[in-house]
Amino acid sequence: MEAQKEPSVSKKKQRKRRSLYQSVWRWHFYAGLIIMPFLIILAITGAVYLFKPQIEAALYKDYYEVTPQTTITTPSEQINTVEAVHPNAAVTSYRPSDSPDRSAEVGITEDGKAYTIYVDPYENVILGKLEDSFKLVNVFEKIHGELLMGTVGDRIVEWAACWALILIITGVYLGWPKMKGKSKIRGVLVPRLNKGKKLRARDLHVVPAFWISLGLLFLIMTGLPWSGLWGNNFQTLTTNAGVGYPPSVWVGDAPASDVKTKEIADVPWSAENLPVPVSTNQQYTQLSVDDVVSIAEEEGVKPGYNIMIPQTQDGVFTLSAFPPKARDEVTMHIDQYTGAVLADYRYDNYHTLGKVIAYGITIHKGTEFGIWNQIIGLLVCIGIVGIAVSGFILWLSRKPEGKLGSPKAPSDKVMKGVIVLIIILGIIFPLVGISVIFVWLFDRFVIPRVPALKRFFNA
Amino acid sequence: MRVVKFSPLLLTFFLLAACSADPEAADHYAKREEVNVIIEAPASIEADSAPQIDVKLTQDGQVLEQEASVHFLVWKDDNKADAESIPASLEDGTYHLEYNFPSDGVYFIKADVKVDNIHLMPTKQIRVGELTEEEKEKILEEQEQKKQENSGGHHHH
C-alpha cells in the first residue's frame, strides 16, 4: 500500500500506531485488573438475584402458602392482629394477598428494624416474621448494589460498571480483526482452537468476550439508572425535563396530603385514629387500609401491589406495584384524610425515556420475559465470570514472555474512535472522567520514570 | 476537538444539575382532576341535638357545580360495623347530614362522596357533650403510647 511509496513516513506511523496499541492494551489491562473482582462479584450476586421469585417461593413456602376458605378477614383486622402481637411497632406497609392461596404481608418497624409479617387472611393468624435486611435474596441484592458498604459501595459499583464500558471499548479495539476476507471473523466471532496454544488462549478470551460484551453492555446500561450518583442525576434530569419517569416513581417528591385545618396541625399527628384528643373537639382521621384497598380496586389496580402507610402528618398512602412486566407498573398517591387520588402514574404515563428505563430494569432483573429472560441473564453472568477468568489467564500466559504478542494495529480511524469514546464516557460519567485522568497521569508520568513499572507494564 | 473544549462546561452543568428535583416536575406528567372536600361541624355539640353538619365540595377554589352523590356513615366509638348509612340532603351546593346524636361520647362521621370517577371518603371524629373521666384517661394513655412508637423514621420508596 502506501508503505511502498514512502517507507520512512510509514514506518514512523506504524511505530506510533504500535505504541498507541500498546497503551490501549495497558489501559485494557489496568481496567481489567482493577474491576475484575467487582465484575465477578456483580455477576455472581446478580445470577442469584435473577432467580429471586423461585428462591423465595421455596424458602418461604410456609409463610406464603395459605388454604383458601369461604370467609376472609379485612386488611385492618389483619393489621390489628399484628399490632396486638407487636404493640411497640409502627405499621409501615400492607400488601394484600395477590392470589387465593397467598398470604398477606404487613410491614412494621420495631426498634429501628424493618420486618415483614406474613398473615393468613382467612384465619387471621400470623404465619411468620422475617427481618427485611436479613432476607437471603435481599442480602445478595445489597452486595450487588452496594457491596454491603452503603454509599461508598454504591459509588464503587457505579464506577466499576462504568469502567467495564472502557474495558469493552478497548477490548473491541484490541480484538478488531486485522486480517481481510474470510479469516476476519475467525478470532473474533469464532475461536481458532487448533492454531497453537497462544492463539487458543487469546481466542478463548476474545471470542466469548465479543459475544458476552453485548449482554454486559446491556446490563451496564440498564443497571446504571439505579446507581446512586449517576443514576439519581440522570433520573432527576429526565424527570424534571418531562421525558422520563413521573416524579416519585424513582426520584422527586410525592404530593402531600391536604392537612385541612389547624385541627389536624394542632394535634400531635401520632394521635391519628384515636378518639378526640382532650384539647380539641374534632379532627379528620386517617383513612383505613380497607378503604385504600377498595380505592385500588375501583381504580383498576390488580393485586400484587404494596401500600405504604403515611408516617407523617402530610404524608400520603402510596400504592406501588413493580410486577414482573414493566407495563403493569403502578405508583399511586392517595390523600390520607380524604382518599383523593392525588397522582396516578402507570406505565402509560411514563414518558419515552421512563418507558425505556422501565423495560431495561425488568429485563435486567430477569422478570420481563419469564424463564428465558432468567436463563439468558444467567448465561451472561456465567460468561462475565468466564471472560474475567480467561482474561486473567491470557495475561498470565503472556506475561512470562515479556511481550505483547504481535500488535498489528488497525487503522487510525478506529484508534481515534476509541479515544473519543473514552472522553465522551468521561464526560457522561464523572466517576470515570476523574479516574481516567488519574490513570492517564499514572500511565504518562509515573510508569516511564520507574524502571520496574516500565518493565512490568512492558511500556 | 470540540468535545474536549466543551467538556468542562458539560461536566459543570451535570454536577450543578445534581440532586435537585423540580417541585413543578409533576406538571409534565398525567394529572388527576381534583375535588376538595371538607366536613363542617359546630365547635360544640350537645347530646340529643341535631347540629348543622355539612359537606362542601370545591374545585379550584370554586363551589363544585356538578352534583355529587353523597351519603354519610355515622358510628360511635369502635362500632364501625354498626354504622348507620344516611343519605345527604342537598341545598345550595351544600350537603347536609341530618342526624340526632343520642348520647355523649366520641362519634365518627364518614362522608362518602362520588363525582364522576372521583371517590372521596373523609372521616371526621367529633366529641358530643362531655367525656367521662374514664374516656379521657384512656385517650391520654393511648396518645402517650402512640408518641413513643412513632418516634421511628420516615418511610420512603
CA atoms of A159 and A273, how far apart (whole Å): 47
Cell numbers placing A168: 469493552
Residue A265 has pLDDT above 50, yes or no: no
Rounded to 10 degrees, what is the CA torsion of B138, B143, B145, B151? 180
A260 contacts on B by Cβ (under 8 Å): 38
Encoded amino acid at A411, one letter: S
Q: Domain of B45?
A: 31-137
B142 to chain A: closest CA residue: A274
Q: Give me the mean pLDDT over the B1-27 stretch.
A: 61
Q: How far apart are CA A219 and CA A366, in angstroms?
A: 11
Cβ separation B19–A232 shorter than 8 A:
yes
Contacts with B22 from chain A: Cβ below 8 Å = 239-240, 247, 252
Any idea which of A68-82, A109-123, B25-39 has the lowest mean pLDDT?
B25-39
Nearest to B28 among A242, A255, A278 (CB): A242
Q: Could you tell me if A236 lies within 8 Å of chain B, comparing CB atoms?
A: yes
Residue A444 DSSP code: I
Hey, are the CB atoms on A270 and B7 less than 8 Å from each other?
Answer: no
Q: Stretch A119-129: mean pLDDT, rounded?
A: 96
* Cross-chain Cβ contact A240/B126 below 8 Å: no
How near does any CA of chain A get to the CA of B49, in Å?
16
Report CA dihedral (A254, A255, A259, A260) to the nearest 10 degrees. -160
Do the Cβ atoms of B122 and A339 come within 8 Å?
yes
Instruction: Determine the straight-line distance between the first and last CA of chain B, rounded to whole angstroms.
Output: 43
Architecture of domain A64-140: Roll (3.10)
- Residue-wise burial string across A83-110, b where 16 or more C-beta atoms lie within 10 A, e elsewhere: beebeebbbbbbbbbeeeebbbbbbbbb
- Contact between A108 and A88 under an 8 Å Cβ cutoff? The reply is no
Cell 471470542 belongs to residue: A207
Q: Who among B18, B34, B146 is closest to A270 (CB)?
A: B146
- If one counts every other C-beta atom within 10 angstroms of the C-beta of residue A401, the result is 10
What residues of B are in contact with residue A308 (Cβ under 8 Å)? 155, 157
Instruction: List pLDDT tens digits, range A305-328.
Output: 999 999 888 889 999 999 999 999
Domain for residue B24, yes or no? no
Q: Is the dihedral of CA A279, A282, A287, A288 positive or negative?
A: positive
- Residue B101 belongs to some domain of the structure: yes
Rg of the Cα atoms in chain A: 28
Cross-chain CB nearest to B119 (options A295, A312, A320): A295
Task: Tell me the C-alpha to C-alpha distance, in Å, between residue A143 and each of A54, A136, A156, A177, A389.
Answer: 19, 11, 11, 37, 21
**Spatial CB neighbours of A143, under 8 Å, sequence gap ≥ 6:** A41, A45
A419 touches chain B (CB under 8 A): no
Per-residue pLDDT reduced to its tens digit, B96-136? 999 999 888 888 999 999 998 899 999 998 888 877 777 77
Q: Is residue B144 part of a domain?
A: no
Reduce the secondary structure of A22-57 to three states and give it as a string: HHHHHHHHHHHHHHHHHHHHHHHHHHHHHCHHHHHH
CB B111 within 8 A of CB B120: yes
The string of DSSP letters for chain B reads -HHHHHHHHHHHHHHHTTT---TTGGGGS------EEEEE--S-B-TTB---EEEEEEETTEE--S--EEEEEEEETT-GGGPEEEE-EEETTEEEE---B-SSEEEEEEEEEEETTEEE--EEEEEESPPPHHHHHHHHHHHHHHHHHTTS-----
Residue of A nearest to B43 (CA): A281
Q: Which residues of chain A does B21 touch, with a Cβ-Cβ cutoff of 8 Å?
A: 236, 239-240, 247, 251-253
Q: Does A271 touch chain B (CB under 8 A)?
A: yes
B155 in any annotated domain: no
**SS3 assignment for A69-110:** CCCCCCHHHHHHHHHHHCCCCEEEEEECCCCCCECEEEEEEE
Pick B21's closest partner by Cβ from A236, A269, A430: A236
CA distance A54 to A51: 6
Q: Determine whether the interchain pair B147/A268 forms a contact, defined as Cβ–Cβ distance below 8 Å.
A: yes
3-state secondary structure of A195: coil
Closest-CA residue of chain A to B137:
A278
CATH number at residue B86: 2.60.40.10
pLDDT of A374 > 90? The answer is yes
Q: What percent of chain B has pLDDT over 90?
A: 25
Question: Between A and B, how many CB-CB pairs are < 8 A?
Answer: 183
Q: Do B32 and A342 touch (CB under 8 A)?
A: yes
Nearest to B60 by CA among B33, B39, B29, B40: B33
Question: Cell match 381534583: residue?
Answer: B34
A352 touches chain B (CB under 8 A): no
Q: Does A430 contact chain B (CB < 8 Å)?
A: yes
Chain-centroid distance, C-alpha A259: 36
Buried b (16+ CB within 10 A) or exposed e, B69-88: ebbbbbbbeeeeeeeeeeeb
pLDDT band at residue A457 using 50, 70 and 90 as cut-offs: low
> Between residues B85 and B3, which one has the greater pLDDT?
B85
3-state secondary structure of A180: coil
**For residue B130, is it within any domain?**
yes
- The contacts of residue B74 (CB under 8 Å, 6+ apart) are B83, B84, B86, B97, B99, B107, B108, B109, B110
Which residues 8-27 on chain A approach chain B with CB closer than 8 angstroms? none
- The total number of structural domains in chain B stands at 1
DSSP string for A122-173 = TTTEEEEEEEGGGSHHHHHHHHHHHTTSHHHHHHHHHHHHHHHHHHHHHHHH
Higher pLDDT, A402 or A118: A118
A258 part of contact set with chain B, CB < 8 Å = yes
Residue B92 is assigned to a structural domain of this protein: yes
The string of DSSP letters for B17-54 reads: TTT---TTGGGGS------EEEEE--S-B-TTB---EE
ipTM value of the model? 0.81
Instruction: Assign A246 a pLDDT band (cuts: 50, 70, 90).
Output: very high
Nearest Cα to B102, choosing from B134, B69, B79?
B79
Q: What is the pLDDT of residues A31-52, one digit of tens each?
A: 888 888 999 999 999 999 999 9
Q: Which residues of B touch A433 (CB under 8 A)?
A: 7, 11
Q: Is residue B93 part of a domain?
A: yes
How far B87 CA lies from chain A's nearest CA (Å)?
Answer: 18
Instruction: Specify if B2 maps to a domain.
Output: no
Q: Kindly list the domain boundaries of chain A, sorted by start residue.
A: 2-52+146-225+371-457, 64-140, 246-349
Contacts of A320 in chain B (CB under 8 A): 157
Q: Which residues of A touch B46 (CB under 8 A)?
A: none
